[in-house]
Structure 1
């Protein structure tokens, strides 16, 4: 979808921006900027949008956003408490012109190239990672830069990653449609548990039904209702993990009136049944607990 350009202020005292974001919610709109961005979620949960990717996020979520890749985070309405993230932003000339072409930085170059699709890092040691990021925040000058470069090099060695956008996605960076995008996202977030009618959404952004569907499909490389189902299934996964509700109740809570349709959509996006998904998660948590006892 079309995103709003965000001007990142350059830092006088540092070659890159490193700051703590803390607020009642993540209120940045759907936006993009030429700078790369690393974001680590310390507190908060909701849905993360990167390109045409829609995924739930919780504390410990760690993502690298490539240059001019649209993104935003939206809290869940049910979430109580403040949100907090550590954010690092830097431009292509971090160490001067063409620094990334030097042989010493070949791994980092590959990492940044991959970040054009967005990268989600899966780390089993979130406490260590948080400590490394916090250390960079607290340093100044030469030591701060060394720690940051070491961080980027270490990220190159993480094998457990997901690239976020799908093949064929191309960001449409027309700034004028930003209000429409935020309205659609906010509408789905507020109404996912009820019947969503296309006409209501298209009227919300002052478009006809067919024009809105073409606009959405062209912008995100997926249909509007694929987007809605993706959002709902992400929330269903969260409820399966965090509650003891029956599958039928979870389906209803996420806006599905038909249980067979819910199962088909779950299989489509998660590639297994809801009960198999929950069992896999519980088995994984058991293995993690056993390792802490070894």
Structure 2
């Protein structure tokens, strides 16, 4: 998942780029661009990477990203195909220079400033505005712009939102660093279900163990093994949701050799027990 610079193809004479993405997979690499991006998942489940954040996503996921935030969505459920999302990309000069300084757009300016940490809107908000999102795609050019500005205004006034990225994190867009991060992410993805030795992953990027630990902590503002456990717990959650396997079996299949340690990690990242997490998810699905 090397963070690649992506040039956004905003059509000539258009204020922003809004489109429906539909494909067999979310195949975009880990990338960044100077445009803001609003993404709504219509169909698909998997893991969403934004900066140093790693979280599950599913249908109804609505996220606003600030400029130059490395990100990608990776579907991990092969049974859900094709995947589908609505994506809207725009720069800060969508209405020309200085528009955000006008009093009428103060709330939108605040929203865009907050988006530097990535914003995930709660499910009730994404459900409420889903028709508005589709309307932005289908309207005439002028009405499309009005709809989009109204959409930003609605989002700027909601209090039900969460930040994705920990405060103080600044993404490093250096190509060499991101190439190493890409290699590490790929290694974890391929080996999370077995024991991961620090010397093995460090050798993947030609570093000593000590240098590797310092590098990872500095790059993502978290330790490598915190990241590994975070990834494993997200894979556990996916298995809890889509299978009827016993919790202990899922834990072992996702790389945990100690059940007490597994339960402590699950509580740390999800603030619940595995069974409570599953019951809560089923309850939400039934409403």
Q: Is 1:41 paired with 2:47?
A: no
Counterpart in 1 of 2:141? 141
Residues 20 and 266 from structure 1, CA distance in 2 versus in 1: closer, same or farther, beyond 3 angstroms?
same
Counterpart in 2 of 1:203? 203
Higher relative contact order (CA 8 A, sep 6+): 1
Counterpart in 1 of 2:73? 73
Q: Following TM superposition, by how much is the alpha carbon of 1:27 offset from its aligned partner in structure 2, in angstroms?
A: 2.1
Counterpart in 2 of 1:255? 255
Residues 179 and 83 from structure 1, CA distance in 2 versus in 1: closer, same or farther, beyond 3 angstroms?
farther
Q: Which moved more, 1:121-130 or 1:223-232?
A: 121-130
Q: Provide the secondary structure at the position in 1 that maps to 2:40.
A: strand
Counterpart in 1 of 2:165? 165
Q: Following TM superposition, by how much is the alpha carbon of 1:158 offset from its aligned partner in structure 2, in angstroms?
A: 2.5
Q: Following TM superposition, by how much is the alpha carbon of 1:189 offset from its aligned partner in structure 2, in angstroms?
A: 1.8
Q: d(CA) in 1 for partners of 2:75 and 2:196? A: 20
Q: Is 1:178 paired with 2:178?
A: yes
Residues 14 and 114 from structure 1, CA distance in 2 versus in 1: closer, same or farther, beyond 3 angstroms?
same
Query: Does the Cα contact within 8 Å between 1:30 and 1:178 map onto a contact in 2?
Result: no
Query: Does the Cα contact within 8 Å between 1:5 and 1:175 map onto a contact in 2?
Result: no
Aligned counterparts, 1:179-194, within 5 A = 179-194=179-194
Q: d(CA) in 1 for partners of 2:100 and 2:126? A: 28
- Structure 1: give runs of 5+ residues left out of the alignment: 289-294
Q: Which moved more, 1:243-252 or 1:128-137?
A: 128-137
Q: d(CA) in 1 for partners of 2:22 and 2:121? A: 22
Residues 223 and 2 from structure 1, CA distance in 2 versus in 1: closer, same or farther, beyond 3 angstroms?
farther
Query: Does the Cα contact within 8 Å between 2:46 and 2:76 map onto a contact in 1?
Result: yes
Query: Does the Cα contact within 8 Å between 1:10 and 1:17 map onto a contact in 2?
Result: yes
Q: Is 1:63 paired with 2:63?
A: yes
Residues 80 and 10 from structure 1, CA distance in 2 versus in 1: closer, same or farther, beyond 3 angstroms?
closer
Query: Does the Cα contact within 8 Å between 1:50 and 1:71 map onto a contact in 2?
Result: yes
Q: Provide the secondary structure at the position in 2 that maps to 1:168.
A: coil
Query: Does the Cα contact within 8 Å between 1:3 and 1:172 map onto a contact in 2?
Result: no
Q: Following TM superposition, by how much is the alpha carbon of 1:78 offset from its aligned partner in structure 2, in angstroms?
A: 4.2
The number of equivalent residue pairs is 287
Query: Does the Cα contact within 8 Å between 1:76 and 1:189 map onto a contact in 2?
Result: no
